Amino acid sequence: MPGGRRGPSRQQLSRCALPSLQTLVGGGLSNGAGLRCRNSSALGLSAPPLTALITPDPVRHSRIPDLPLDSNLLFEALLFLYLLVALFVQYINIYRTVWWSSYSQPTASTSLNYHLMDAHLAVFITVMLARRLVWTVVSEACVACPASPLRYTVLLAVRLVLLTLCVCVLCWTLVHLFRNHSVLNLLFLGYPFGVYVPLVCFHQESRSPSDCVFSEPDGSDVPLRPKPFLELLREHLRDQLCGPAPIPAHSCPPTPPSPDRIRSEVQQLKTDFNRRIKEVLFNSLFSAYYVAFLPLCFVKSTQYYDMRWSCEHLIMVWINAFVMLMSQLLPPRYCDLLHRSAAHLGRWQRLEPGSGSNAPQHIWSDSTIWPQGVLVRHSRCLYKAVGPCNVALPSDVSHARFYFLFHKPLRILNLLIGIESSVVLYQLYSLLRSERWNHTLSLGLILFCNYYVLFKLLRDRLVLGKAYSYPPGHGLPVKTP
């Protein structure tokens, strides 16, 4: 009737009055989530929690074979041999002569100007490059020998003797370098350590506010204090001398793990990955600095050398050392562990305001494993679940970066192969166009080392590519010998 009370129209009933299955799924009050209509009003419907109605499919992982990995002692020996070859090549580039010319000149009778070389500098560089190899030999001897008081005493004596010997050699070389060179040149000898202390030792992993406290047995919260400088310095020096740390364990039980446990595992892996990357960057830059840059700092002003070729050699040494350290510190088993954690973590895609207004929206909860395609609101922003299961914090950039880097298990390996292949192709191109004997010799020696690294990377890529091509839960039936 015209003056009577009108009931709701069909359009209003279809929008808000009759909840759909997705509405019931997303309207659980136990999750703290309420369904939002177009006018942003929450329905007061009581529904079971989201995890009770929709459970994400369990994440299945591909099984990969146990690929052979060089032992710490073998890797350090190969790295030290490569750096010695690169140092020899740099000396050839700097002190070469025109040995095919007339023998009336005294310097033309040999291929190098040996009288211009500083033997003390070469010994100093060799000792600095051999620090990891010597410590690895001692560490491997500690593991191989049986545990006994006599063994402990002998190993302690050997360590003291080696440390004393290295210090004596370094002091002997420094005394002679101080007599023959200026103070400015001597400052270049310890420049990497002066940069390493403020950049690495003073830097600590960023923590969220929830990670900055720990609970006492009585339930009280005590804030975490930063580590002292000496303790940080001792830990980082131990990382530089010792081999790579053991690979952390990954727990993937049949039942879905708790979101807090997944985020805690991701935080630990992120810290371990950052530590390994810092070790790779420092050792690669350290090697390139002492192998290719430091000899240039002690060249006399009257000595001529090809600056462009020497700088190019510096860049090549740094790239090759970086790839070698990355392949050793980030083996396939470790990359697969990061991939599994990223699959459990998931990722959120931030949507523009106004998009997805007709779809059910939920309030994000840290105790819920969200399935793919769900829309949640967090910090006044709308996010969409991208991964098969999602427990990441939507506003945490580090979680999104972790998923981007490791949700594809072969991304790091493909990057290393691309870098090493580019270096090899460029060196082959330079070898074809080289006209000087020192260029041909240096490229030929360095290419042999690069072939070995590229071979290992391509072997791992071929095997892992076939293993990951199988359906999740399956893998290659036979282990690689």
388 inside domain: no
pLDDT reading at 126 higher than 90: yes
How many of the other CB atoms lie within 10 Å of CB of 11?
8
172 inside domain: yes
44 inside domain: no
3-state secondary structure of 362: strand
Instruction: Read off the tokens for 403.
Output: 């998923």
Number of domains in the chain: 1
Dist. CA 355–CA 374, nearest whole Å: 13
Nearest CA to 450 out of 279, 277, 252, 317 is that of 317
Dist. CA 441–CA 445, nearest whole Å: 6
Nearest CA to 132 out of 324, 330, 332 is that of 324
Q: Which of 201-205, 247-251, 370-374, 409-413 has the lowest mean pLDDT?
A: 201-205
325 inside domain: yes
Instruction: Give CA separation, 440 vs 55, 266, 289, 320, 435, in Å.
Output: 63, 48, 23, 18, 8
The residue-averaged pLDDT of 388-404 equals 88
The DSSP line for 182-193 is: -HHHHHGGGHHH
Are 447 and 428 a contacting pair, CB within 8 Å? yes
Greater confidence, 275 or 152?
275
390 inside domain: no
Write out the residue range of the structural domain in which residue 196 sits.
75-205+232-342+402-468
Dist. CA 119–CA 87, nearest whole Å: 13
User: What is the maximum span of the chain, computed from C-alpha positions, in angstroms?
Assistant: 124
3-state secondary structure of 41: coil
pLDDT reading at 189 higher than 50: yes
pLDDT reading at 193 higher than 60: yes
pLDDT reading at 298 higher than 80: yes
For residue 467, the surrounding DSSP H or E stretch is helix 437-468
Greater confidence, 38 or 227?
227
- The per-residue pLDDT for range 445-479, each reduced to its tens digit, is 999 889 999 999 999 999 999 988 877 655 554 44
pLDDT at 197: 65
pLDDT at 186: 82
Dist. CA 68–CA 71, nearest whole Å: 9
How many of the other CB atoms lie within 10 Å of CB of 404?
12
38 inside domain: no
Provide the percentage of residues in the chain whose pLDDT is more than 70: 68
Residue 402: pLDDT band (50, 70, 90) is very high
Instruction: Read off the tokens for 78.
Output: 């190969």
Residue 412: pLDDT band (50, 70, 90) is very high
Residue 288: pLDDT band (50, 70, 90) is very high
The DSSP line for 218-273 is: TS-EEEPPPPPHHHHHHHHHHHHHS-PPPPPP----SSPPPHHHHHHHHHHHHHHH
Residue 245: pLDDT band (50, 70, 90) is low
pLDDT reading at 366 higher than 70: yes
The residue-averaged pLDDT of 147-170 equals 80
Dist. CA 64–CA 466, nearest whole Å: 9
Q: Which of 73-87, 113-127, 280-294 has the lowest mean pLDDT?
A: 113-127
462 inside domain: yes
Q: Which of 94-98, 288-292, 368-372, 424-428 has the lowest mean pLDDT?
A: 94-98
Contacting residues for 136 by C-beta, under 8 A, at least 6 apart: 72, 73, 76, 242, 243
Residue 260: pLDDT band (50, 70, 90) is confident
pLDDT at 198: 63
For residue 12, the surrounding DSSP H or E stretch is helix 10-12
Averaged confidence pLDDT in the chain:
75
Dist. CA 23–CA 360, nearest whole Å: 6
pLDDT reading at 81 higher than 90: yes
272 inside domain: yes
